[in-house]
């Protein structure tokens, strides 16, 4: 089969690929192809745990601040929307989207698309969702939010007592689960699950004969 | 030296979403047979879109660094913080590693992105790309580290929410924060809209 590099357009002929495999472009070193040993079940289990952690991360306070006996706590959603109260709706929306909604979208897409695939069915709008997932991946920023929280807490610790709460731990674990999820689902792997799922819908995939009229 | 065999020379393109290599029957408007995303030989308008985003981001980089991003009010003081003064106060506080981290994520990385993307765009527009491998590596690094600039935005969001203890201490957001967030978003969009293959096309024409 021929694989063209997405980064430098060089064509590569590959005779047989091991599974799992990882192939880099000989000219520009971009990753051309990666599959791994994870099964759909692994990924579904990981996504389900991530969903549980997401719920906990949202259900309880994230951090609390104690100054002169007065305590103030905030939840994840509160922290994302803090700027909204001060009239910075666009920045608040950005924080909400990257730190809260994108991780949720990732988790829900996997939980919606993969179980039907395993049963040989296609969830409605599966392809559109997988495309959106691929396009929006750089905007999922759980790990950046976590480090941002550390920076904020270090700043505050100079003048006040900072009390990390249960949701901060849950969010930290969520961050790890999301990283594992991303690592377990390279683009090629996801689409191979689609292609190899028992019911083939028309001539999809490289091994299929060329479509008539194309 | 013979020209390398490229997708373009074979009439093949890579789907931008699912990375399938597909034959391009109709050059203007085709869809990936695997994921149904529109595929193009080169991303349409990549150079001008990226240039527009880089220029806008470069203009906003100035207010992002000059204007205050936060205002802290306590019983004893009222002070404005810029991105840089935030870094300095972290350093004064003795948190050197964190201060360095914020300095890189908020000041160095956005500047590096703007310079790198600007230089790449300039070289391509002059049709004169030397050492595409190095430029590719630079571009990928820029693309990879770009999201970490959101660090300060997240930190500010949390600070603003927590420090609202009326009569004792409050923190308010100032317009610099908007400019800063816009720089991060625009440079990320610029990197995403850039078609890396443009770096290599001059080599392939042989």
Residues A182 and A136 in one domain: yes
Say whether both A153 and A183 belong to one domain: yes
* pLDDT at site A205: 43
Task: Name the residue among B51, B46, B50, B153 with its Cα closest to residue B109.
Answer: B153
CB-count exposure of residue A193 (10 Å: 0-12, 13-18, 19+): buried
CA geometry: angle at A152 spanning A55 and A145, to 5°? 40
How high is the mean pLDDT of chain A? 89
Q: What CATH number does residue A127 fall under? A: 1.20.140
> Residue A214: which pLDDT band, with cuts at 50, 70 and 90?
very low
Distance separating alpha carbons of residues B132 and A26, to the nearest angstrom:
14
- Tokens 């730190």 correspond to A99
In the Cβ-directed half-sphere of B39, how many Cα atoms lie within 13 Å?
28
Specify the pLDDT at position B28: 62
**pLDDT tens digit string along A31-77?**
998 988 889 999 999 999 999 999 999 999 999 998 878 889 999 99
Inter-chain touch A86–B7, beta carbons under 8 Å: no
Tell me which chain A residue has its CA closest to the CA of residue B172.
A86
Helices (H), chain A: 40-59, 76-81, 89-95, 102-118, 126-136, 142-157, 166-184, 187-196
Which residue of chain B comes nearest to A72, CA vs CA?
B162
Domain assignment present for A212: no
Task: Identify the pLDDT of residue A18.
Answer: 78
Mean pLDDT of A154-181: 94
Confidence at residue A36, expressed as pLDDT on a 0 to 100 scale: 87
- Is the ipTM higher than 0.90? The answer is yes
Most B CBs within 10 Å, among A77, A92, A148, to test the B interface: A148
In a domain, A201, yes or no: no
What is the Cα–Cα distance from B6 to B65, expressed in whole angstroms?
43
SS3 at position A72: strand
Residues A13 and A71 in one domain: no
E strand intervals along B60-143: 70-74, 78-81
Confidence at residue B26, expressed as pLDDT on a 0 to 100 scale:
66
Q: Nearest CA of chain B to the CA of A207: how many Å?
A: 12
Provide the pLDDT for residue B2.
67
What is the average per-residue pLDDT within A187-207? 71
Q: Which of A79, A194, A205 sits opposite B157 (nearest CB)?
A: A79
Whether chain A has a CB inside 8 Å of the CB on B162: the answer is yes
* Same domain (yes/no): A77, A5: no
Q: For residue A205, is it within any domain? A: no
CB-based contact B145:B110 (threshold 8 Å): no
- What is the model's pLDDT at position B167? 76
3-class DSSP assignment, residue A112: helix
Please report whether residue A211 resides in a domain.
Answer: no
Q: Are B34 and A4 in contact (CB < 8 Å)?
A: no
DSSP 8-state secondary structure symbol assigned to residue A11: E
> CA-to-CA distance for A57 and A149, rounded, in angstroms?
14
Full set of structural domains in chain B with CATH: 1-41 (no CATH), 45-204 (1.20.140)
Q: Which domain holds residue A150?
A: 38-196
Same-domain pairing of A71 and A160: yes
How far apart are alpha carbons A110 and B196 in whole angstroms?
29
| pLDDT confidence band for A28 (50 / 70 / 90) | very high
Which of the two residues, A21 and B65, has the higher pLDDT score?
Answer: B65
Q: Is residue A192 part of a domain?
A: yes
In a domain, A171, yes or no: yes
Which residue from B minimizes the CA distance to A191? B18
Same domain flag for A60 and A20: no
Nearest to A152 among B33, B143, B159 (CB): B159
**Over 70: is that where the pLDDT of A98 sits?**
yes
Question: A9 and A95: one domain?
Answer: no
Residue A72 covered by a domain: yes
Residues A72 and A156 in one domain: yes
Looking at the structure, tell me whether residues A42 and A11 fall in a common domain.
no
Does B9 or A17 have the greater pLDDT score?
Answer: B9
Nearest to B137 by CA among B90, B51, B187, B196: B196
Q: Is residue A204 part of a domain?
A: no
Question: In terms of pLDDT, which residue wins out, A201 or B117?
Answer: B117
**3-state secondary structure at position B67:** coil
The reply to whether A13 and A114 lie within a common domain is no
Name residues of chain B where pLDDT drops below 70.
1-2, 26-28, 204-206
Q: Are A22 and A113 contained in the same domain?
A: no
Domain total in chain A: 2
What pLDDT sits at residue B23? Answer: 87
Q: What is the pTM of this model?
A: 0.91
- Whether A57 and A86 map to the same domain: the answer is yes
């Amino acid at each position: 089969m021929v694989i063209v590099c997405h980064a430098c357009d060089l064509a590569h002929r590959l005779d047989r690929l091991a599974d799992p495999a990882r192939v880099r472009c000989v000219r520009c070193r971009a990753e051309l192809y990666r599959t791994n040993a994870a099964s759909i079940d692994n990924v579904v289990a990981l996504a389900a745990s991530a969903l549980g952690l997401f719920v906990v991360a949202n259900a309880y306070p994230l951090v609390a601040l104690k100054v002169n006996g007065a305590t103030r706590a905030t939840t994840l959603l509160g922290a994302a929307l803090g700027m909204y109260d001060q009239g910075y709706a666009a920045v608040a929306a950005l924080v909400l989207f990257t730190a809260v909604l994108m991780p949720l979208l990732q988790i829900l897409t996997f939980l919606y698309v993969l179980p039907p695939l395993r049963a040989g069915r296609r969830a409605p709008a599966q392809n559109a969702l997988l495309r959106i997932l691929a396009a929006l991946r750089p905007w999922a920023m759980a790990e950046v939010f976590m480090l941002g929280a550390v920076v904020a807490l270090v700043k505050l610790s100079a003048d006040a007592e900072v009390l990390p709460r249960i949701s901060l731990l849950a969010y930290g674990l969520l961050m790890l689960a999301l990283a594992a999820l991303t690592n377990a689902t390279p683009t090629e792997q996801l689409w191979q699950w689609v292609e190899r799922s028992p019911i083939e819908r028309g001539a999809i995939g490289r091994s299929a004969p060329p479509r008539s009229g194309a | 030296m013979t020209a390398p065999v490229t997708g373009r020379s074979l009439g093949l393109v890579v789907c931008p979403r699912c990375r399938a290599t597909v034959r391009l029957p109709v050059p203007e408007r085709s869809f990936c047979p695997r994921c149904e995303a529109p595929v193009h030989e080169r991303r349409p308008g990549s150079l001008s879109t990226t240039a527009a985003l880089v220029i806008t981001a470069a203009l906003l980089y100035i207010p992002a660094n000059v204007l205050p991003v936060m205002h802290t009010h306590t019983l004893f003081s009222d002070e404005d913080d810029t991105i840089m003064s935030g870094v300095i106060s972290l350093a004064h506080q003795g948190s050197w590693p964190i201060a360095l981290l914020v300095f890189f994520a908020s000041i160095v990385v956005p500047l590096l992105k703007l310079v790198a993307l600007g230089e790449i765009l300039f070289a391509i527009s002059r049709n004169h790309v030397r050492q595409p491998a190095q430029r590719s590596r630079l571009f990928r690094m820029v693309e990879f580290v770009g999201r970490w600039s959101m660090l300060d935005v997240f930190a500010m969001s949390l600070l603003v929410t927590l420090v609202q203890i009326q009569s004792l201490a409050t923190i308010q957001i100032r317009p610099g924060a908007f400019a800063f967030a816009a720089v991060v978003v625009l440079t990320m969009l610029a990197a995403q809209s850039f078609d890396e293959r443009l770096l290599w096309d001059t080599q392939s024409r042989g």
